[in-house]
Structure 1
Amino acid sequence: MKITANGKINLTLDILGKRDDGYHEVEMIMQAIDLHDVIMVEKNDSCDIILDCKVDGVDDDKDNLIYKAAQLFLKTYDVNCGVNISLQKNIPIAAGLAGGSADAAAVLRGLNELFALNKSDDDLCELGGQLGSDIPFCIKGGTMLATGRGEKIAAVDAMPDCAFVVVKPKIGVSTAWVYNNYKAEIVEQHPATKSMLAALCNKSLDTICKTLDNVLESVTINRYPQLQEYKKMLCTYGAKAALMSGSGPSVFAVCDDKKKAEDVAQKFAAKYKDLSVYVTSPVNENKGR
């Protein structure tokens, strides 16, 4: 069985405070994108989880989130069977695009279908939330408001038609490091979440672009100031707006359509030859279903 694992970007990301459990209380609007990995799952007779994951920088053993998701699924639902899982990796790692979470979510959805258990998305979200805060969003996809530590999600109005240019620098950023170094006192402006929700409701791409905001830029861009340059150049080349996704270091830019995005991407890639540049689009329905 083949399952698509869509990445994500953050239209907004706000931190409301520190929780008693050590996590941060967040409020963010997340958008699934067509940049995706592909997961293949099949039954085997060994009663083992066999993971084929030959990707530089990605664990291929029991520390892999894919393995943990399969292990939790099989144990929770008392499935007495082994599985083979293979990964075709397209989403860059340590990028702020939820690649690992997307893969784990795809495994949960894939195993649910493979074993015909008919568990609801809410069931899978509850399971996935035990492994990572972004996994529930990656299970449902589309456009979502995420709260709590990110695991509480609610569908909101879909992103209007547009295209994105995603830029991944040759650096990796630890999500834990970014959150641990966040200092609320230096953040002068917080996302206008209600305004973004209204802009999505009105399908106003211009207002959406004006309302993009991510407080974690205060950490990651402070450490890697070249990200601010990349944002500026994407707009110079014709994008409507640009923002860092998640904890970074990836930066995305919003364009009116794919043709414009391809033009922006071509100009950007010609200047910054050592960066990975992708053209993608919003996904408002979960393609992996």
Structure 2
Amino acid sequence: MRKINCFGKINLLLRVGSLRGDGFHEILTIYQSVNLHDTVAIGLTEKTGIELSSSDPSIPTDASNLAWKAAEKVIRSTGYDGGVFIQIEKRIPAGGGLGGGSSDAAGTLRLLNRLLNHPLSESQLLAHAAELGSDVPFFLVGGTALGTGRGEVVEALPDCAPFSFVAVFPEFSFPTGEMYHLLDRAKACSLVKRHENPEVLLQSRENSFDQVVSAMSEDVAGVMQKIREDGFEVMLAGSGSTFLVLDGPGPLSAVCLRLPQEWQWMELKSIPRREALGDDVF
């Protein structure tokens, strides 16, 4: 079996625009790779079909798993007539807004394509990634990148200056669909401008979903506000409930004093494209 590290991401900017005819919202986002990663191992077998296992028992191991779907796409588009066994070692919290499932899917596309001697081009892999999910294409680009459309149109940007941050994981998640509905009801969707200077966008550090946190959870909104009052910069990770503490007047780890005991947190750092997409197959 061969393995690949599948790194997580954060959104340094997430502007949600109007609802499109296809049911998705137009968004403008800046993706950033981070050092937390899952590991996907893949083996080719003579027996046809896909088998998948995960170190996290909460992760589905059937055809609903994105990594499984990614393997299906490669098999169908290449005509490979053997089988695939996938093992996922989870470190990125499931449903935490750091893109673990999407990164595993992108890693599966990359690694399986490599094991089959690269029958698919980069553009074909990106097309498959976009079909799998809005943020899956980013994980084929890595580093710092601009995302438009529903997030699947990705443009690589120069790596941003390295930084550390704290990711806070409440003991519950925010349903993504409901967060979008809250934005729609509050008429809080932003005007998405595609041609703004990316360097300016990088400095804005805004997330449209921050406007509706309190409608989903007063507990999360209250903790975020207390941390802001301590002088730290705080924003949701994606649509939450995970949130990020990006900068402040003291050690980032000091935010743990503001957190309910049952909430988890970890200190992470950004990574450049060469690390996110390095030759990490082993």
TM range, smaller chain: 0.7 to 0.9
Query: Offset at 1:58?
Result: 1.5
Q: Percent identity of the aligned residues?
A: 28
Residue 155 of structure 1: aligned partner: 156
Contact 1:142 1:283 in 2 (8 A): yes
**How far apart, in 2, do the equivalents of 1:151 and 1:135 lie?**
7
TM-score of the two chains, using structure 1 as the length reference: 0.85
Query: Offset at 1:195?
Result: 6.9
Partner-residue secondary structure (3-state), 1:66: helix
Return closer, same or farther for 1:175/1:117 CA change in 2, 3 Å cut-off. same
Q: What amino acid is the match of 1:213?
A: E
Query: Offset at 1:125?
Result: 1.3
- The aligned runs of 1:128-167 (5 Å cut-off) are 128-167=129-168
Tell me if 1:276 matches 2:277. no
Query: Offset at 1:192?
Result: 8.6
Contact 1:190 1:214 in 2 (8 A): no
Contact 1:141 1:283 in 2 (8 A): no
Partner-residue secondary structure (3-state), 1:100: helix
Residue 3 of structure 2: aligned partner: 2
Residue 264 of structure 1: aligned partner: 252
Task: Indicate which of 249, 252, 269 corresponds to 2:244.
Answer: 252
Return closer, same or farther for 1:48/1:132 CA change in 2, 3 Å cut-off. same
Q: What amino acid is the match of 1:283?
A: I
| Structure 1 unaligned residues grouped into runs of 5+ | 201-206
Partner-residue secondary structure (3-state), 1:80: coil
Q: What amino acid is the match of 2:89?
A: Q
Query: Offset at 1:250?
Result: 0.7
Partner-residue secondary structure (3-state), 1:213: coil
Residue 60 of structure 2: aligned partner: 59
Return closer, same or farther for 1:281/1:165 CA change in 2, 3 Å cut-off. same
**How far apart, in 1, do the equivalents of 2:15 and 2:168 lie?**
22
Partner-residue secondary structure (3-state), 1:248: coil
| Structure 2 unaligned residues grouped into runs of 5+ | none
Residue 43 of structure 1: aligned partner: 44
Contact 1:242 1:253 in 2 (8 A): yes
**How far apart, in 1, do the equivalents of 2:53 and 2:189 lie?**
46
Residue 101 of structure 1: aligned partner: 102
Query: Offset at 1:267?
Result: 4.9
Residue 183 of structure 1: aligned partner: 184
Query: Offset at 1:131?
Result: 1.3
Residue 82 of structure 2: aligned partner: 81
**How far apart, in 2, do the equivalents of 1:7 and 1:48 lie?**
28
Residue 117 of structure 1: aligned partner: 118
The CA deviation string for residues 176-202 of structure 1, in whole angstroms up to 9 with x for no partner, is 2222332275439768987772247xx
**How far apart, in 1, do the equivalents of 2:278 and 2:226 lie?**
34
Contact 1:216 1:247 in 2 (8 A): yes
Contact 1:106 1:288 in 2 (8 A): no
The CA deviation string for residues 239-270 of structure 1, in whole angstroms up to 9 with x for no partner, is 4x1110111111011248xxx7xx42255168
Residue 203 of structure 1: aligned partner: none
Return closer, same or farther for 1:169/1:115 CA change in 2, 3 Å cut-off. same
**How far apart, in 1, do the equivalents of 2:153 and 2:193 lie?**
19
Q: What amino acid is the match of 2:209?
A: L
- The aligned runs of 1:197-236 (5 Å cut-off) are 197-199=198-200, 208=203, 211-235=204-228
Return closer, same or farther for 1:221/1:134 CA change in 2, 3 Å cut-off. farther
TM-score of the two chains, using structure 2 as the length reference: 0.87
Tell me if 1:18 matches 2:19. yes
Contact 1:162 1:255 in 2 (8 A): no
The CA deviation string for residues 29-73 of structure 1, in whole angstroms up to 9 with x for no partner, is 111111111111111121221101242332111111111111111
**How far apart, in 2, do the equivalents of 1:73 and 1:33 lie?**
26
Contact 1:191 1:214 in 2 (8 A): no
**How far apart, in 2, do the equivalents of 1:235 and 1:252 lie?**
11
The CA deviation string for residues 204-253 of structure 1, in whole angstroms up to 9 with x for no partner, is xxx82xx21111223344211222333344456674x1110111111011
Supply the RMSD in Å over aligned alpha carbons: 2.5
